[in-house]
Amino acid sequence: METTSKIEDFLMSNLSDNRMDKAMLKKLSSAVDKLRKHDVVVERIWRYGQPAIDGIVVSSRVRVKDFGRLSNIFDIPELWKAEVFPIGLPYPEILQVNMRIGEQIEPPRHGFL
């Protein structure tokens, strides 16, 4: 596994944007490194927020039988939302997990809609 500083340097160079300050960029890249330490295989990362960048979405794919291992990702304080989409019908074998890291831009929902 690559060292933490190499990963952070790579993320900072690829996520760098003049609308995002260096402290926020460092915080986001550190959170992605924490995800990797929780065995999350990062497939794709993109920014969200217009015009200011509020954070990033980290996308990963996980086998259904391994999904339980991800329960510890919620120990990461910067992670505020995870969306799970089944892939494969009628019996999903893989789940796509999109994790939002950064500023919470949606109000928290209480109960069901």
Query: Can you give the pLDDT of all 113 residues of the chain as single tens digits?
Result: 566 677 667 777 777 777 777 788 888 888 988 898 888 888 998 888 877 788 999 999 999 999 998 888 989 999 999 999 999 889 999 999 999 999 887 766 665 54
Residue 93: C-alpha distances to residues 15, 31, 64, 77, 96 (Å): 31, 27, 6, 29, 10
Distance CA 5, CA 64 (A): 31
Name the pTM for this structure: 0.79
CA 41 centroid distance within chain: 10
Q: Domain residues of the chain, as ranges?
A: 4-102
User: Exposure of 106 by Cβ count < 10 A (0-12 exposed, 13-18 middle, 19+ buried)?
Assistant: exposed
Class of domain 4-102 as given by CATH: alpha beta
- Residue 101's H or E segment, with its range, is strand 94-102
Residue 105 pLDDT: 73
The single-letter DSSP state of residue 97 is: E
Residue 3 pLDDT: 63
How crowded is residue 89: how many other Cβ atoms within 10 Å of its Cβ?
6
Residue 67 pLDDT: 92
